[in-house]
Structure 1
Amino acid sequence: MANIRSKSESKRKQILDAATMLFTEQGYSSTSMAEIAQDAGVSKQTVYSHFGNKDELFAASIKQKCDSYHMTEIGLDTANEPAEILFVLAKRFLAMLTSKEALAIHKICAYESKSYPQLSELFYQEGPERIVNDVAILMADFDSKQQLAIPTPKFAALQFLNMVKGECWMRVEFNTKKQLSEAEINRYLTSSIAMFTKGYSL
């Protein structure tokens, strides 16, 4: 039984990997379920048995990409200060946000939003909304453990994530000639996190 499940999970991942690559390279409208099946090395019927339609597959590919950065695995450790935990979270979030796939999907949703208005909604639900909710849980943990005073966790999560994007995301998004170095990014994040934790100090 376990072997059957593992085969099924393996095929599901093959499909998701193929879908992510094709959506990223070709866009949503130009990618067919048949192409995804061919690239995944499975039958079209297998694709539909795992994902009912292209919208569902698009949403699942976004979720898998977000999950690959382990955003939801950040938890509290009594040995770590909030600033240390937030720095790890910030680095993972920024890496995900500036990845080739995330940038491509963002552009796809903007470009194809008139023809496929559901894309932006799917992207928001499986990407930004899930991440904000997960970070809000972390903020609530800081508050309950009296490490920071955060009465509105979701509000704080939105503040934090938008602060993290900073100049780095803008430069990557607009593909400017100058990009920030790792040292510049780290200095910005360290300074921003210090300001954030001071603002929510007990």
Structure 2
Amino acid sequence: MLTAMTRYRESVQSLLHQRVLDAAHDLVTAKGWGGLRMTHIAAAAGVSRQTLYTEFGSKEQVGEALVMREVEGFLLGVQERLDAHQDDEGLAVEVAVRFTLESAADNPLLKSVLTSARGGGDLLAHLTTRSGPLLEIATAMLKGWAAEAWPHIDEDSLDLGAETIVRLTVSHIVQPVAPADVTAARLARILVRIGLLRDR
């Protein structure tokens, strides 16, 4: 009985968590992050301020959770594209990076965050100066997938390649310098060279 009750409470908490993030997502895409207050999020989610603070602690933590939820959605799409091209390292990375860049460009939340006129403000930091959690989860996913799919690539190259591709992809999301297909092809070449070249 206790186990069933625990599962029920966890389920309710998860639903509350998602409802709050859904409300925050809608508010940010409509009005930006800068002027958003916890009272606004609580009202939109239909919960009390105390409940909101108990669940997240601060606006900063809501922002981090919001960004990480978007990242997790991206990573599912990335893995699908990697799976479809396991036999070609360069093409797999190119397709995955292109998907990420194009999806980011079309993502309403990221558009709001990256457009200063809409008040991205502190939320942008989760893609830049406070991007540690994002980089960690994305790098771990890419390295873990690559280690299974491409066992012929040594571990040092996997470490370097995964971190490099993730950091450069995030950089190009924040400040694109070329069309997505061009950037994706360039980053794929970097990974292939890291995997093929040996230290002298």
Fold conserved (TM > 0.5)? yes
Per the TM alignment, residue 15 of structure 1 is displaced from its structure 2 partner at its CA by 0.2
Q: Does 1:104 align with 2:112?
A: yes
Partner of 2:53: 48
- Count of residue pairs the alignment pairs up: 186
Give the alignment's TM-score, normalised by structure 1: 0.66
Partner of 1:15: 20
More helix by share: 2
What is the rounded CA distance, in whole Å, between the counterparts of 2:44 and 2:12 in structure 1? 17
Give CA-to-partner distance per residue, 1:68-119, whole Å, 9 cap, x none: 22359738869831345424532442244322322332456x9646xx9976
For the 8 Å contact 1:23–1:31, the answer to whether it is kept is yes
What is the rounded CA distance, in whole Å, between the counterparts of 1:60 and 1:153 in structure 2? 28
Match of 1:80 among 80, 86, 97: 86
Partner of 2:192: 197
What is the rounded CA distance, in whole Å, between the counterparts of 1:3 and 1:90 in structure 2? 39
Structure 2 portions without partners, runs of 5+ = none
Give CA-to-partner distance per residue, 1:97-153, whole Å, 9 cap, x none: 322322332456x9646xx9976777412334432343344455566x11x346243
Higher RCO (C-alpha 8 Å, min separation 6) = 2
Q: Which of 79-88 and 1-10 deviates more?
A: 79-88
Distance 1:117 1:152, change over 3 A: same
RMSD between aligned residues: 4.2
Distance 1:27 1:127, change over 3 A: farther
Q: Which of 74-83 and 86-95 deviates more?
A: 74-83
What is the rounded CA distance, in whole Å, between the counterparts of 2:156 and 2:94 in structure 1? 21
What is the rounded CA distance, in whole Å, between the counterparts of 1:79 and 1:92 in structure 2? 13
Q: Which of 153-162 and 78-87 deviates more?
A: 78-87
The correspondence of residues 1-202 of structure 1 with structure 2, limited to 5 A, is: 1=5, 2-71=7-76, 74=79, 80-81=86-87, 82-98=89-105, 99-107=107-115, 112=121, 123-141=130-148, 145-146=151-152, 148-149=153-154, 151-161=156-166, 162=168, 170=176, 185-186=180-181, 189=184, 193=188, 196-197=191-192, 200-201=195-196
Amino acid at match of 2:158: P
Q: Secondary structure at the match of 2:43?
A: helix
